[in-house]
Chains A and B, each alone.
Chain A
Amino acid sequence: MRSASERGLKIVGAVGGGYLLTATTVIAAGAVLARCGMARSEAVALSSMLGFVFYLALLVWAFAVRSAARLWAVLAAGTLLASAVAWLAR
């Protein structure tokens, strides 16, 4: 489980996949907050700022998780979910 390739998969997943999930969540959260009545620019600014904290927490989790498969599954599911929310709330 600590082969070089699995390690590589995890690092790519944590950094790249984590960023993709974060960026999608930021877009979705901006859309949802704006839907809830927040001024649009305010919604975008708030979700962007919180995005950094979200990414940090995600990275800590991603570097601690045991299997690369699990990491990639969670990231993929999360990104799909966030994309769906962004699409619905736009």
Chain B
Amino acid sequence: MEDTFRKSMAWLHTWAGVVLGSVLFAVFWMGTLSVFDREIDRWMMPATRISPAIAPATAPISLDKVARAVQPAVPAGASQWRVDLPTERTPVLRFTYKADGMDPAPRQMEPQQLAFLPPQGTLGGSGFIFPFHYGLHLEWKETGKWIVGVAAMAMLLLLVSGVIIHRKILVQFFTFRPRKSLQRSSLDLHNLVGVLGLPFHFIITLSGMVIFMMIYFPQAYSGAYGEGKKARAEFFADAYGKYSRPRANAPGTLGSLDAMADVARREWGGTEPYFVRVWHPGDANSYVELRRSYAREVTMNVDQIFFDAASGKVLHRFQAAPVMSAQRFISGVHFIQFEHWTLRWLYFAAGLAGCVLIATGFLFWLEARRARHAARGLAGVRVVEGLAVGSVTGIVIATLAFLAANRLLPPAHGMGGEERAALEVWTFYLAWIATFAHAWWRGRAAWRGQAWTICLLAMACVLLNAVTTGDHPLRALANGNLAVAGVDLLLLALAALAAWSARRLAATPLQGSARQAGARA
């Protein structure tokens, strides 16, 4: 692009960052929160705050009892029902079924009496924040996943070009001048978190794309398998495992699921199943699928065993081949569905470092151009500033508004749960749009205004949780409800950080950066 390789990379770093920084921040922010999505679920679904002391996740649950408990809720002619068993982070069972194109919202079951909990009326962390992270909730033709994929490739390019344009990586790593101008300190911080987080950010971005390799290379199978739907299905069956048989349209019975689980445990060296799925329930050709838990390994294995529902005879067993196992390992590195609290916190910290990296990149771009653009009457800084404010502080405000709405809306009674969940989502998007409007209207002052808004909203969320559920952080801690206490304490930390930033922004003289501006193109 430019005369030298380094200059080309600098140009690429600047413009890829400005153009895709907004999407990248949204993906990193939502991804960082997704590290604790189940804990956010507990916060947003108070009925599922079951203390581990009352119902330890390790207590064995009889699958036959589970089947008896859910069968009345399965409509006749359903194509499948599925129950995910409790885990260390999710103390409830999760029940879903599919029938005649119906795909109703999941329902939670309490693990001791196996009774359905009332609808929670929220998508929660795992239903809204986590899918936002990888698909932006734009489901039409996977548009969201493609936008995230483009941003992810840009992130890899930003990391590579960022390393190339910094000759003195080691020196810069030990340089942080927080009291210098905003331009200087934001660049120092950008370099510091960039180098510190580099291995994590590279691996997390690459592994994220590997998870969706069949979305991003949708025709990859066609060389080895040939074209067409049948070839595609054949590839997926070979790679991920698949068993099916048609309905017999005659009545059938369901044998002992516990006996099937015993067979599976023996097969898997003692590892528990993590979900049970019954296909064609009540039909003579009904069959049962058990999946192996990956709570204790990084690899998100796709080990599965299929049983004849009536006799319990094994129909099909599947384990991934070596390369696919590597793919499942790389996916597991990204998803961290295994149980490891130290690593979970490190992922959270490294994810936040990614957010800081993107935000300081925006800040440096703006501060380096502010004076020059003002002098020449260019609109670039104003446009990008609105974009940056809305995508950095704006999405944080929107997330907090989402949490606050969850505690403010009346509880969902009867089947009104889906409307309630939709209202929460609307709150998120309306708040986000409002932050963009505010940012373009107020310009640079919007940073400070929105930082104070974050501070107030975060404190309001903690207060609302205490008022509506009684679980203030001290009580949650005393009850062993670490998920709820953790979310509350992180909200308080966010409030403190936002207040500090707002005060710091007020102290920064507006011309502070003008003197150094114009040094860069």
Q: Which residues in window 47-88 of A have CB below 8 A to B?
A: 47-49, 51-53, 55-56, 59-60, 63-64, 86
| B223 and A34 within 8 A (CB) | yes
9 A-B residue pairs with Cβ-Cβ distance under 8 Å, sorted by A, are: A30-B220, A40-B235, A44-B220, A44-B224, A45-B239, A52-B210, A60-B161, A63-B8, A90-B226
- Distance in angstroms from A53 CB to nearest chain B CB is 8
A21 within 8 A of B: no
Given A45-B213, A64-B1, CB of A90 within 8 Å of CB of B223: yes
Residue interface mask A1-41, B partner, CB < 8 A = 1: 01000010010000100000011001111111110000111
Give the distance in Å from the alpha carbon of A43 to the alpha carbon of B224 in the complex.
8
Give the distance in Å from the alpha carbon of A27 to the alpha carbon of B321 in the complex.
20
| B217 and A51 within 8 A (CB) | yes
| B220 and A41 within 8 A (CB) | no
B156 within 8 A of A: yes
Q: Which residues in window 200-214 of B have CB below 8 A to A?
A: 206, 209-210, 213-214
| B9 and A63 within 8 A (CB) | yes
Give the distance in Å from the alpha carbon of A10 to the alpha carbon of B11 in the complex.
13
- With beta carbons under 8 angstroms apart, the residue of B153, B161, B223 that contacts A55 is B153
B222 within 8 A of A: yes
Chain B residues within an 8 Å CB radius of A40: 224-225, 235, 238
Q: A-B pairs with CB below 8 Å: how many?
A: 109
- Distance in angstroms from A7 CB to nearest chain B CB is 7
| B222 and A49 within 8 A (CB) | no
B327 within 8 A of A: yes
- Distance in angstroms from B18 CB to nearest chain A CB is 14
| A23 and B224 within 8 A (CB) | no
Residue interface mask B130-142, A partner, CB < 8 A = 1: 0000000000000
Q: Which residues in window 321-362 of B have CB below 8 A to A?
A: 321-324, 326-327, 330
Question: How big is the B interface, by class?
Answer: 35 or more
B219 within 8 A of A: yes
| A44 and B235 within 8 A (CB) | yes
Chain B residues within an 8 Å CB radius of A10: 1
Give the distance in Å from the alpha carbon of A46 to the alpha carbon of B326 in the complex.
9
Interface residues of A (CB under 8 A from B): 2, 7, 10, 15, 22-23, 26-34, 39-49, 51-53, 55-56, 59-60, 63-64, 86, 89-90
Most buried by A among B161, B216, B224: B224
| B223 and A31 within 8 A (CB) | yes
Chain A residues within an 8 Å CB radius of B221: 30, 44
| B330 and A7 within 8 A (CB) | no
Chain B residues within an 8 Å CB radius of A31: 223-224
Given A40-B238, A64-B9, CB of A48 within 8 Å of CB of B217: yes
Given A52-B209, A56-B160, CB of A27 within 8 Å of CB of B238: no
Q: Kindly list 20 other residue pairs between chains A and B, CB separation below 8 angstroms, not including A23-B217, A44-B221, A47-B220.
A: A10-B1, A23-B219, A26-B217, A27-B220, A28-B223, A32-B223, A34-B223, A40-B238, A42-B321, A44-B223, A44-B224, A44-B239, A45-B239, A47-B223, A48-B220, A51-B216, A53-B206, A56-B160, A63-B11, A64-B1
- With beta carbons under 8 angstroms apart, the residue of B11, B219, B223, B239 that contacts A89 is B223
| A49 and B239 within 8 A (CB) | no
- Distance in angstroms from B304 CB to nearest chain A CB is 15
| B223 and A48 within 8 A (CB) | no
- With beta carbons under 8 angstroms apart, the residue of A27, A49, A60, A89 that contacts B330 is A49
B12 within 8 A of A: yes
- With beta carbons under 8 angstroms apart, the residue of A41, A48, A60, A86 that contacts B160 is A60
B5 within 8 A of A: yes
| A52 and B206 within 8 A (CB) | yes
Give the distance in Å from the alpha carbon of A29 to the alpha carbon of B213 in the complex.
15
Closest to A68 in B: B1
Give the distance in Å from the alpha carbon of A18 to the alpha carbon of B67 in the complex.
52
Residue interface mask B45-77, A partner, CB < 8 A = 1: 000000000000000000000000000000000
